[in-house]
Amino acid sequence: MNYALIENGVVVNVIVWDGHSDWQPPNGQTAVQIPDGVYAGIGSTYSNGTFGEPPQPSSTV
């Protein structure tokens, strides 16, 4: 299963974990299972149980 590591509302890593092995995410991070059919990648947001698109970089002209 794929899990997102969340820190301050942002996905900082995506890992494969069975969800049962004796493993803990690093301090300050939470592991959240990514549901089938949902995209969550590094930079995506996570709030209230929902993954969101990463913020778009601001363009400079």
pLDDT tens-place string over residues 24-38: 999 999 999 999 999
Residue numbers of the domain that contains 30:
2-52
pTM, whole model, 2 decimals?
Answer: 0.87
Is residue 23 assigned to a domain?
Answer: yes
Number of structural domains in the chain = 1
- The answer to whether residue 58 sits within a structural domain is no
Q: How confident is the model at residue 3 (pLDDT cuts 50, 70, 90)?
A: very high
Which residues share a beta bridge with 47?
50
Structural contact between residues 5 and 25, judged by C-beta atoms closer than 8 angstroms = yes
Q: What residues contact 3, with CB distance under 8 A and at least 6 apart?
A: 14, 15, 16, 17, 19, 31, 32, 33, 34
Query: Does some domain include residue 10?
Result: yes
Domain for residue 61, yes or no? no
